[in-house]
Structure 1
C-alpha cells in the first residue's frame, strides 16, 4: 500500500514537509478542526498553498483543546490574511439598543397598579 501524502496541494514527495515549512508563517489558529479545514480549503481554492499543524493530535485526542495552526508561505501571508478576513464572521458587539426595556417597565407599572387596585378592593370587603 502506497503511503498517502497528508499534505495535499503540495509538490512534496511522501509525507515530507514542503521546503518552506520551516520558514512558513502562521496566519490563523483554531480550536475547531472543522473551522481550520474550512479556512484551509478556502485558501487552497484561492491558490494559496497551506497546511495545518496539529491536525492529527486534534483528531486522535479531541478532548484536549489543542490549537491547530494554519501555515502559509511567507510571501503569501498577506493575501492569506486578507482572504481569511473576508471570510470571517464579524462579531459586532451589540451597541446600547433598546430591546423592549421601556415596554417591560410600562407593563410592570400597569401590573403594579392593577395589583394595588385589587388589594384595595379586597380590603374594602
Structure 2
C-alpha cells in the first residue's frame, strides 16, 4: 500500500497477506464511518487491516450489526494501543458506566412516574 492514500487499500500487490480466518478483531463499532476512521489511523501507522460487516450494516440497518476491525494477530496488541491513544471509542468502552448515582436517580424517577400513572389508572383520572 502506498503511503500517499491511507484510506484506500486497493493495491493488492503491496498488501500484506492475510491467511484465511487469521484476522483478529481489535475493535467493534456501530458505525462504518467510525470503523473507517480507526482503520485509517492503523494504516497510517503501517498496520494492515480490514473491516467486516460494513456493507451488511447499510443493507440491513435495523439489525444493528457491529462493524468489526480486523488486523493480523502479530499486530493486534500494537493496534489496540494505537486505538486507545487515539481515543477512538470502541463498542466495549462506549457503554461503560462509571457513576452508579446516575442510574439510581433514573430508577427513582421512573419509579415515581410509574406510581403516579398507577394511581391515576386506579382512580380513573386522566
- TM class, shorter-chain normalised? 0.5 to 0.7
Residues in 2 aligned to 1:75 and 1:10: alpha-carbon distance in whole angstroms: 21
Residues in 2 aligned to 1:37 and 1:43: alpha-carbon distance in whole angstroms: 10
| Aligned: 1:29 with 2:43 | no
Three-state SS of the structure 2 residue aligned to 1:23 is coil
Residues in 2 aligned to 1:36 and 1:76: alpha-carbon distance in whole angstroms: 17
Residues in 1 aligned to 2:66 and 2:19: alpha-carbon distance in whole angstroms: 21
Q: Look up the match of 2:79.
A: 80
Residues in 1 aligned to 2:49 and 2:11: alpha-carbon distance in whole angstroms: 8
- Specify the structure having the higher radius of gyration (Cα): 1
- Count how many residue pairs are aligned between Structure 1 and Structure 2: 86
TM-score by length of 1: 0.57
| Aligned: 1:60 with 2:54 | no
Distance 1:83 1:10, change over 3 A: farther
Residues in 2 aligned to 1:29 and 1:39: alpha-carbon distance in whole angstroms: 10
Contact 2:38/2:88, CA 8 A, preserved across alignment = no
Residues in 2 aligned to 1:66 and 1:22: alpha-carbon distance in whole angstroms: 20
Q: Look up the match of 1:46.
A: 45
Three-state SS of the structure 1 residue aligned to 2:63 is coil
Residues in 1 aligned to 2:22 and 2:75: alpha-carbon distance in whole angstroms: 12
Three-state SS of the structure 1 residue aligned to 2:21 is helix
Q: 1:94-113 maps to which residues of 2 (within 5 A)?
A: none
Give unpaired runs (5+ residues) of structure 1.
1-6, 13-17, 97-125
Contact 2:23/2:73, CA 8 A, preserved across alignment = yes
Report Cα offsets for 1:38-85 as digits up to 9, x if no partner: 111111111110000111101222232001110001111111000001
